[in-house]
Structure 1
C-alpha cells in the first residue's frame, strides 16, 4: 500500500486493533518502526509484549518509549519510515503516573501531527463505552483518554474503530 496516511485505530480490549494497525503498516513499502509505550512491569505484561513481538515478526525496528512519545516520533517519523505507536492508552497512563499534564502532551502530539512528513498509525483504546469507573482516578483517566482520542482523531486524516476484529471506518 503506497497511499498509507496517518491513521488512528480505536477499539476495546481484544478488539483486533493492534493486529489491524500492524497490517496497515506491513502493507507499506516504507521502513517499519514500532514505538512501544508499554513497560514490562510484571510477568503478564512481559508475556503480552512477547506475543506482540512474535506476531510482528522480523523487519521491524522497535523503539521503547513510555513517556517521550513526541520526541521519538520527531526522530523516527522523519526518515522515510512509517511508525506504529502502540498504544496511546498506555502512554496516557504513563504520563498520568509520572505527574505530567496529559493535555499539554496531547497538544504537543497534535502540533507534531500538523508537520509530520511520514505516516504514523496510532492504536488507542476506547474506554468510555463501559461502566463509569468507581474511583476519581479511574474517572479522570477515562475522561483524559476520551479527550486524547478526540484531539488525535481531529488531527489525523483516517480513523477506524475495531469491533470483534472488524474495521469500521469513521473517517477517511
Structure 2
C-alpha cells in the first residue's frame, strides 16, 4: 500500500492517479465522496474528467471491504480519499474506532496494490470549535494508522512528492 498525504489542492490526487496509471495495471478508482453540496459536486466532476475510460470506477462511502475484496492481481486501486470517507462516518455518527479498524483490515486483505489519498489537517491553526478540533484529531489518528500500515508514504506539497517512508 502507498499512502499519499497532502493539504487541500496540493496535487495529491493527481499524484495518486499517476502512480496507478504508471503501474501498468488496470486502474480502479474507489471514490468515497458523498455529494453534500454544489462545491463537492464540482470537485467530483473535476476528478472524473481527469480519468479516461481505462479506469473502473467504484463508489463506497462507508464500507470499502466489499469493493476491495473484489479486486484482483492485475489491478491497482486508488482510494480517494480517506478524508471524505472519515467525513461520511462523522456525519453519520458511526463508531470511528470500529470503522477505522474495518478499513485497515480491508486494505490489508486486498489482493491488488492500493494507493490511499488523504488530507493533512494538522499543520494549520487550532480550530475555534470543538467539533472541528475533534475531526482534525480523528483525521490525524487515521493518517497515523494508514502511514503505519503503508509500505510507502508520500507527502505532496505544491504537486511535489516527498517520500516519507519506503520508496517509489
Bin of the TM-score, shorter chain as denominator length: over 0.9
- 109-118 vs 158-167, which moves further: 109-118
2:107 equivalent to 1:113: yes
Q: How does 1:157-168 map to 2 (within 5 A)?
A: 157-168=151-162
Query: d(CA) in 1 for partners of 2:131 and 2:15?
Result: 30
Query: d(CA) in 1 for partners of 2:97 and 2:109?
Result: 19
2:117 equivalent to 1:136: no
Q: How does 1:79-158 map to 2 (within 5 A)?
A: 80-158=74-152
Would you say the 8 A contact 1:113–1:156 is kept in 2?
Answer: no
What is the TM-score normalised by the length of structure 2? 0.93
Q: How many residues align?
A: 166
Query: d(CA) in 2 for partners of 1:94 and 1:125?
Result: 15
Query: d(CA) in 2 for partners of 1:74 and 1:54?
Result: 26
Following TM superposition, the consecutive aligned residue runs of length 4 or more in structure 1 with deviations greater than 4 angstroms are none
2:25 equivalent to 1:30: yes
Q: Deviations along 1:32-58, whole A, 9 cap, x unmatched?
A: 110111122222221111111111122
SS at match of 1:112: helix
Map of 1:169 onto structure 2: 163
RMSD: 1.3
Q: Deviations along 1:84-109, whole A, 9 cap, x unmatched?
A: 00000010010111111122111122
Uncovered stretches (5+) of structure 2, i.e. residues with no partner? none
Query: d(CA) in 2 for partners of 1:162 and 1:90?
Result: 18
SS at match of 1:161: strand
Map of 2:47 onto structure 1: 52
Uncovered stretches (5+) of structure 1, i.e. residues with no partner? 1-5
Q: Offset of 1:117 from its aligned partner?
A: 2.2
Query: d(CA) in 1 for partners of 2:28 and 2:16?
Result: 12
Would you say the 8 A contact 2:27–2:77 is kept in 1?
Answer: yes
